[in-house]
Amino acid sequence: MIARSIGTGRVTALGTALVLLLAACGGGGASPSPAGEATPATTAPAETPAESPAAPGGAGPNVVFIPKAVNNPYFDAAAEGAQKAAGELGGQFTQIGSNNAIAAEQIPFIQDATTQGYDAIVVSATGADEVAPALRAAMEAGIKVVGYDSSPAEGAYDVFVNQTDFSLIGGAMAQWACDLAPDCSGEIAILSATATATNQNAWIADMEQALQDPQFANLTLVETVYGDDDPQKSTTQAQGLLQKYPNLKVIIAPTTVGILAAAQVVKQAGVSDSVKVTGLGLPNDMKEFVRDGTTPKFGLWSVPDLGYLAYYVAAKLVAGEITGAPGETFTVPGLNNGQPYTIGDKSVVILGPPFEFTPENIDQFNF
Ligand code: RAM
């Protein structure tokens, strides 16, 4: 399977950086496969934590995943990889959480998980600082805490598993906006997730930095709005952008929920000739919009591999094979070309490079 990798540093490397997907994001069974079927994640209904172990209890750990929200398909894709890891390790996988990506709603799930006998909590923080006290309490209770996708505050996790180097995303989004706006000029706007999301805020900050480059001088970022990873609110926000900025050329949505809503709004409004949508999306959500030209290019990483890696990191922490200290190394089956991962500064591990999806490669992905 071939995918286009977002190049390091300059985004102009996009055109030349073809990589083998299996080499870049793992041959671990969690990698997306054109023929593979997605397994629906086990999630709890809003408000009520519930457990549905994916694997019979064995020698492995008992791990609970707490995503930003359980009704977001992005986290189903991550859970697919985590369930696979649990199966390989003889561990247990449970996913709990709110239906709303709101920090105040995530905290009780962390607090509940702390009292339920889990060995590790794996969390995508809806608010880095907001959830930190509950996570620190879990750590004090002897539970290993792994951040994935969206980082908790430093000191409130043992390891943060980052999907990719943050700066690659900001630069790529600036370049995509440039590529999709006529003559790399005109008004562009961002439709983000929640205003407190660590990951989106880091990507947006990097994109704003990248836009300072003279090559983007004719692009004007008019506004950043927040759809809270809620489909309806994201739809309303995208509609609002079209109304407020009749000359808008590109909507950049660094969220799988936001990019889908924006593409649907633009298409339904019949303006996809003049307004393009890009950002970060699930290939399965976006195939239709890649084909019809609403979203000619966008990016993401292997989300199943993210869940797979996060589970393995949790298991290694529980087993005492790693402590989360910078400089420690470990390997995970099928990931990182079989090479060891090194825990970096601030106890961060990076899954690998993200991908750029285009009409040429989109059908090769299934997540
Ligand atoms: C949404 C969530 C998630 C983010 C993706 C790209 O599903 O906000 O945290 O990583 O988009």
Domains in the chain: ranges and CATH: 14-164+302-364 (3.40.50.2300), 166-300 (3.40.50.2300)
Pocket probe mutation, ligand 1, options 196, 229, 303, 367, max atoms within 8 Å of Cβ: 229
HSE of 336, CA atoms in CB hemisphere, 13 A: 19
Share of the chain above pLDDT 90, in %: 83
Calculate the alpha carbon distances from 51 to 44, 63, 99, 118, 329 in Å.
7, 11, 16, 11, 32
DSSP 6-44: PPSS-GGGGGT-EEEHHHHH-SSTTS--TTPPPPPPP-P
Regarding the beta carbon of 74 and ligand 1, being less than 6 Å apart is answered yes
Cα angle, residue 98 at apex, residues 323 and 191 outer, rounded to 5°: 95
Q: Do the strands 18-20 and 2-5 form a parallel or antiparallel pair, or are they unpaired? A: antiparallel
pLDDT of residue 305: 98
> Is residue 59 very low, low, confident or very high in pLDDT (cuts 50, 70, 90)?
confident
| 321-344 average pLDDT score | 97
Residues in the chain, total: 367
The answer to whether 99 and 43 are in contact (CB under 8 A) is: no
9 versus 64: which is more confidently predicted? 64
> Is residue 235 very low, low, confident or very high in pLDDT (cuts 50, 70, 90)?
very high
Chain centroid to Cα 221, Å, comes to 23
Handedness of CA 96, 101, 104, 107 (dihedral sign): positive
| 161-172 average pLDDT score | 93
- Tally Cβ neighbours within 10 Å of residue 321: 12
Pocket probe mutation, ligand 1, options 74, 98, 124, 165, max atoms within 8 Å of Cβ: 74
Share of the chain above pLDDT 70, in %: 84
Global pTM reads 0.87
Regarding the beta carbon of 255 and ligand 1, being less than 6 Å apart is answered yes
The C-alpha atoms of residue 304 and residue 79 are separated, in whole angstroms, by: 7
Q: Which two tokens stand for residue 77?
A: 């894709």
The C-alpha atoms of residue 228 and residue 120 are separated, in whole angstroms, by: 27
Look at ligand 1, atom 6, and give the residue with the nearest C-alpha: 255
Alpha helices for 2-102 (secondary structure H): 21-25, 73-89
The answer to whether 327 and 342 are in contact (CB under 8 A) is: yes
Regarding the beta carbon of 193 and ligand 1, being less than 6 Å apart is answered yes
- Tally Cβ neighbours within 10 Å of residue 50: 11
pLDDT of residue 38: 29
Q: Is the pLDDT of residue 48 over 80?
A: no
Residue 136 identity (one-letter amino acid): R
- Measured in angstroms, how far is the CA atom of residue 257 from the centroid of ligand 1? 7
Look at ligand 1, atom 10, and give the residue with the nearest C-alpha: 149
Q: Is the pLDDT of residue 26 over 70?
A: no
Which residues make beta-bridge pairs with 195? Answer: none
The answer to whether 367 and 308 are in contact (CB under 8 A) is: no
Q: Which atom of ligand 1 is nearest to the CA of 300?
A: 6
Q: Which atom of ligand 1 is nearest to the CA of 150?
A: 9
Regarding the beta carbon of 76 and ligand 1, being less than 6 Å apart is answered no
Regarding the beta carbon of 259 and ligand 1, being less than 6 Å apart is answered no
Q: Which atom of ligand 1 is nearest to the CA of 68?
A: 9
The C-alpha atoms of residue 119 and residue 351 are separated, in whole angstroms, by: 23
Q: Is the pLDDT of residue 233 over 80?
A: yes
The C-alpha atoms of residue 240 and residue 58 are separated, in whole angstroms, by: 51
Residue 162 three-state SS: strand
